[in-house]
Amino acid sequence: MITVEVFTSPGCAKCGEAKDRLQRVATELGADRVAWREVNVLEHLDRALALGIMSSPAIAIDGELAFASLPSAAKLRTVLETRLLQRQ
């Protein structure tokens, strides 16, 4: 299983889109394979800065910054599938 965090901030229009996109792709790949959670950067600023996140939305996979901005659904899917294959 891989762990994905989507870093968002209140009032960010693209953040909602990132969350929806991640949820959709994670569901398609399987809840038993991809666990995800939303992280408010204002509430977890230290964590965001430690990962190098300077703006939202951003997506971290297994504790590493994977996307510093909103990726396309295809790119997100490709990266998650690659990570899952590396785990096998």
Q: What tokens does 20 get?
A: 């929806």
Taking only the tens place, the pLDDT of each residue in 70-88 is 999 999 999 999 999 998 7
Average pLDDT, integer, range 56-62 = 96
Q: Which residues have C-beta within 8 Å of that of residue 56, sequence separation ≥ 6?
A: 7, 8, 9, 12, 14, 15, 41
Report, as an integer, the average pLDDT of 22-47: 94
The superfamily CATH assigns to domain 2-82 is Glutaredoxin (3.40.30.10)
Mean of the per-residue pLDDT values of the chain: 94
- At residue 88, the pLDDT reads 76
